[in-house]
Structure 1
């Protein structure tokens, strides 16, 4: 059976520029997460948005629990999208786990990638002490996964305000909670397991694509130690500390997020 990749992943294209910029959402989200950022790039770039299978308006019947039990399954889809659209020298903006999905894809076909922008990235969420601090103990992740299985909507209600971390703007965590709750609970739980048990530290050394690491302040998912680790282990990386708190600066602080991306791309035009 021939798969229509663009329909499978609900791919959208627009913008007046020629250089492609691909926005890749993180766990539990969809392409709507970029709604405040995208208008600031439409004039100068070819915008590409998509949903991972199991997220947003993707085609759920293409979900394969074996394929998507590893981040390489998602990376394969990214490469298929880029192949169908014939993208090269693209800017890949990955939020959270999408930063590592993009890196895995680029390690296979680097010519398609010109620059990375990694927002709240982490190569490993679980601590590997004393050498590595990811922010979580294995028991923390197991508890999270159990909560998702036992009470999915309770999990969404609990997690959204913690990871958004903007308590004076309740509408942001409410919107995030609604997005979490719109996912298929079984697929969301497996994506969580694939994400939070992943370990991409050994893959960092093979990445030759220049990257901007946007490190949020007070991020419960990707603490500053993780940003520093990535900066130390990624060739040609630039680390920028943001005033934005939480794990979703594209929603809570879109102007700051877009400004950092513009500054970086202007300085690294190719």
Structure 2
């Protein structure tokens, strides 16, 4: 099986440096369609789908390999080796922000920087740490997925996208409904129970944390925690309701991403 087929890899542009975009839970590479075209004149852009999502090879979804986010991180390194020019700037949304960070810890020499859109090191509240959800909230979410996946996606898609964006909410719902329910349930458990707070100190790659002002999935405290524990990081807050600013606030998202790229000088 080719890596291109496994991860549905698409490359655009032919600049001297590479920017790689990876989507969040339940989504696919089309989520970046308002952002990446503006970079094509300056960068090589690599888009892919996580195995189990979008146009990836669903038969490659190994529950043991992907029982942690490290399995997806290994896939990212495979794609970099084949398709990147020089160290990459990795742009990851939500869970893929952590996947990219784990990949950068494995092979820091392959990364110029990481841009984390709506990241969370852990979704579960723990003492003074505010992740956004109590353990029983996560348990309830995962139990609902088990008994009524369609009901879960109809409830969660509008909450994830944000109240002012009904058309985009319908798009997100359609993407969720196209997923294989068994894979989606497994990946949800891996995503929402992961705790990578201890890995933050291991990450040495420059980081931009891009967060929305009102995000049900990744509240402001999460971004502030990441900024405090990630060396060489910047925190930028976009005025936006929801968890997908690259769709619902693309101009503001691109402006901040582009500013960071110019700061890097790549």
Q: Which residue of 1 aligns with 2:220?
A: 224
Q: Which residue of 2 aligns with 1:58?
A: 56
Q: Deviations over 1:107-144 (max 9, x none)?
A: 01011100110000000110111x21100111111111
Moved >6 Å (runs of 4+): none
Secondary structure of the equivalent of 2:89? strand
Q: CA deviation at 1:146?
A: 1.1
Q: Deviations over 1:186-210 (max 9, x none)?
A: 1001111000100111111111100
2:255 paired residue among 250, 255, 259: 259
Q: Which residue of 2 aligns with 1:73?
A: 71
Instruction: Indicate whether 1:162 and 2:159 are aligned.
Output: yes
Q: Which residue of 1 aligns with 2:207?
A: 211
Unaligned runs of 5+ in 2: none
Q: Which residue of 1 aligns with 2:21?
A: 23
User: Aligned pair count?
Assistant: 266
Q: Which residue of 2 aligns with 1:142?
A: 139
Instruction: Indicate whether 1:41 and 2:48 are aligned.
Output: no
TM-score by length of 2: 0.98
Q: CA deviation at 1:88?
A: 3.0
Q: CA deviation at 1:73?
A: 0.6
Q: Distance in 1 between matches of 2:225 and 2:49?
A: 29
Contact 2:20–2:47, Cα closer than 8 Å, also in 1: yes
Q: Distance in 2 between matches of 1:157 and 1:86?
A: 37
Q: Distance in 2 between matches of 1:137 and 1:87?
A: 42
Secondary structure of the equivalent of 1:33? helix
1:106 paired residue among 72, 88, 104: 104
Q: Distance in 2 between matches of 1:28 and 1:56?
A: 8
Q: Which residue of 1 aligns with 2:119?
A: 121
Secondary structure of the equivalent of 1:58? coil
Contact 1:11–1:48, Cα closer than 8 Å, also in 2: yes
Q: CA deviation at 1:16?
A: 3.5
Unaligned runs of 5+ in 1: none
Q: Distance in 2 between matches of 1:68 and 1:168?
A: 34
* Comparing 112-121 and 144-153, the one that deviates more: 144-153
Contact 1:5–1:81, Cα closer than 8 Å, also in 2: yes
Contact 1:208–1:235, Cα closer than 8 Å, also in 2: yes
TM-score by length of 1: 0.96
Contact 2:44–2:85, Cα closer than 8 Å, also in 1: no
Q: CA 1:48–1:86 in structure 2 vs 1: closer, same or farther (change >3 Å)?
A: closer
Q: Which residue of 2 aligns with 1:92?
A: 90
Secondary structure of the equivalent of 2:124? coil
Instruction: Indicate whether 1:181 and 2:173 are aligned.
Output: no
Contact 1:100–1:121, Cα closer than 8 Å, also in 2: yes
Q: Deviations over 1:15-56 (max 9, x none)?
A: 141210000101010101111111111111100000011101
Secondary structure of the equivalent of 1:55? coil
Contact 1:78–1:102, Cα closer than 8 Å, also in 2: yes
* Comparing 26-35 and 167-176, the one that deviates more: 167-176
Contact 2:16–2:85, Cα closer than 8 Å, also in 1: no
